[in-house]
Every structure is written in structure tokens, then in C-alpha cells.
Amino acid sequence: MLRTVLAVALAVALVAAATSALDSARTARSERLTEAELDRIEAAAESLVSEESPAEPGTPGPRRTLTVSLPGESLTTAPVALVALGGIPGGNSAADTDERDAFASRIDGGRHRVRRVGFDLRAAVPTENNRGWRLAPDDGPLVLRGGETHRVVLRLVRIDGRPTVVASARRFKSEDGTTSPHARPAGAIS
């Protein structure tokens, strides 16, 4: 009887230790995958700014289009709560100046990780009739949710006389062919 109790106690301790290690590994993997996607977005925006001339608002201009996949919850990844392009949702935008901005990310249950970028970025959000885009306020980042694949379009436009990267995004259609709503600006109801 005593051996059984000790065996069960040892098994519970081993499972608890393994679970903690697995959670840490899942979180680390999600962070790596998210950072890799942010690296791609940042590189595309930097090449746009350094290689192209900005267009006037409302005219077609240079753009970069990326497919961005953010981890959801699985056996090997922790869910990404959000990725924000152009600031920290509901937060202080000390990094937001006329020449610089920030990307932020957060794994579920974690803290925001902030990355400063060397260009100004504004979010474009769908109009009410979903037939076009309008600029969000400068403190309103474009928020992408984890567990989804997004089509991110970066455009280089001239706003207030300076080059600005304007980001928009749409979620891809689901397997059943239904269209998901657009990525939402910070504070919008998902």
C-alpha cells in the first residue's frame, strides 16, 4: 500500500514538472514564430521605404503584400493573443513619432513585447460598407489575432509631407468558404 502511494506521488510530481517544461517550450516556440513573422513585416516595410517613392493618399502606389500566419493553441505552440502593427493596443505610444513606430506582440497570459521600428506606420481600417479603407488615428494600431492567417498589405504614401507606411489586413477565408471579418483596429470588438 505504501509503495502504491509513493508511486502515485512520484508520478504526479513528474507530470507536474513535465507540464511546466512543456508550457515553457510551447510559449518559446510561439514567441520565435511570431518574431519571425514580425521580422518579415519589418523587412518588407523597410524595403518599401528605402526603395520606393511615396504616393499621394488616394492614388495607387508602391506596396508589399505578405501572408502572415500567427500560431494558435496546439500541442507545440501557445496561442498568440495579438500582434499589433503601429503601436501598443490601449497603451502608451512613446515609440510613435513622425519617423518611428512600434510593433507589439503578446502570447496569451503574457506581457506585451515591443519592438521599435525605424519608420512611421498607420493602420488602414475598412470603411463601414467594406468597399474601401480609411486611415485609423495614429495611436490606433492594426491588430492581428493568433491562430489565423492574414493577408497584410503595406503601402507607402505621403501623409503630412512625409513618407508613411500604411498597413491593412484581411483574414483568409475559412475551409467552408465563409469570409471572416477584417482585422480590427485596437479596441474594436472581435
CA 40/CA 46 separation, integer angstroms:
10
Residues facing residue 151 across a β-bridge:
67, 170
CA 20/CA 180 separation, integer angstroms:
35
pLDDT tens figures, 135-146: 777 778 899 999
DSSP category for residue 88: -
What mean pLDDT, rounded, does the chain reach? 80
Confidence band, pLDDT 50/70/90 cuts, at residue 189: very low
Domain segments of the chain: what residues?
2-185
pLDDT at 130: 62
pLDDT at 58 exceeding the cut of 90: no
pLDDT at 178 exceeding the cut of 90: no
pLDDT at 185: 41
pLDDT at 179 exceeding the cut of 50: no
